[in-house]
Amino acid sequence: MSDVILSIDYDDLPGQVIKKGKLCLLDMMGVMMAASTEESSQILSRIFCKDGLPESSVLVYGKKMPAFHAALVNGAMGHSLELEDHHNHKRSLNHPGVTSIPAALAVGEREHVSGKELLTAIILGYEIGSKISRAIKIGHLNLEKGFHETSVCGPFSAAAAAGKLLELSPLQLANSFGICGSLASGSME
C-alpha cells in the first residue's frame, strides 16, 4: 500500500477525480469556516497557539502554530458541526475529509508544497481511508454501539496524506500505518 501511495502523482489522477477532490477541499474549508465561531473551536485555537514553532495556519483565525496542532484544531473545526462529507458505501460511515484535509493543509503549508501536490495527497488520503472503511465493514453496526468508524479509518487517511507530502520512504509510511492500526484497534503492530 505504501509503495502505491508514494508512486502516484497528480498527472496519474483522472480529471473527474481531480475535480471531485477540489470540491471536497472547498467543502471542508467551508465547514471549518462555519465552525470557527463555535466556542470549542476558539478554545482549542487559544490553547494550542501558545507554544511551538509557527509552522501552519488555523483556518479563519490567521494564527500559526506547530503543524500537528494546526491539523488538530482544523480537524476539530471540521467535525464540530457534523457537516463533513462521508464515504458513500453500503456499510460505511467514514468521513475521510475531516482527517485527510487538515493533515494535508498543515503539512503542506509547513513543507511549502504545490497545489497539485496538496490535492494529490488529499485524494490519496480519501482513497486509503475509504478502502479501509469498505474492508472493515463496520458502519452502522458499531455506530449503534457507540463506536465511530472515522476513529479507525481517519488516522490512515491522515497518515497517507501527510506521508505523501513528507515524501516518506515506503518503510516509514508502512510504520505510520502500523501505528495507526495499533492505536485504532489495539492490534499488536
pLDDT tens-digit map of 8-35: 999 999 999 999 999 999 999 999 999 9
CB 102 within 8 A of CB 75: yes
CATH number at residue 57: 1.10.4100.10
To which residue does cell 502516484 refer? 8
Structure-block grid coordinates of residue 55: 509552522
Q: How many domains would you assign to the chain? A: 1
Q: Containing H/E element for 114?
A: none
In which band, very low, low, confident or very high, does the pLDDT at 123 lie, cut at 50, 70 and 90? very high
86 pLDDT higher than 70: no
Q: Which residues, 6 or more positions from 130, have their beta carbon under 8 angstroms from its beta carbon?
A: 87, 89, 92, 94, 96, 153
In which band, very low, low, confident or very high, does the pLDDT at 131 lie, cut at 50, 70 and 90? confident
Mean pLDDT for 141-151 is: 65
In which band, very low, low, confident or very high, does the pLDDT at 85 lie, cut at 50, 70 and 90? low
Mean pLDDT for 51-62 is: 89
DSSP string, 37-106: TSHHHHHHHHHHTSSS---EEPTTT--EE-HHHHHHHHHHHHHHTS------STT----THHHHHHHHHH
Q: Give residue 140's domain range.
A: 2-185
What pLDDT is stored for residue 57 in this prediction?
A: 92
Mean pLDDT for 123-139 is: 82
Range with the poorest average pLDDT among 53-57, 68-72, 117-121, 184-188: 184-188
In which band, very low, low, confident or very high, does the pLDDT at 140 lie, cut at 50, 70 and 90? low
Structure-block grid coordinates of residue 81: 458541526
Mean pLDDT for 109-124 is: 98
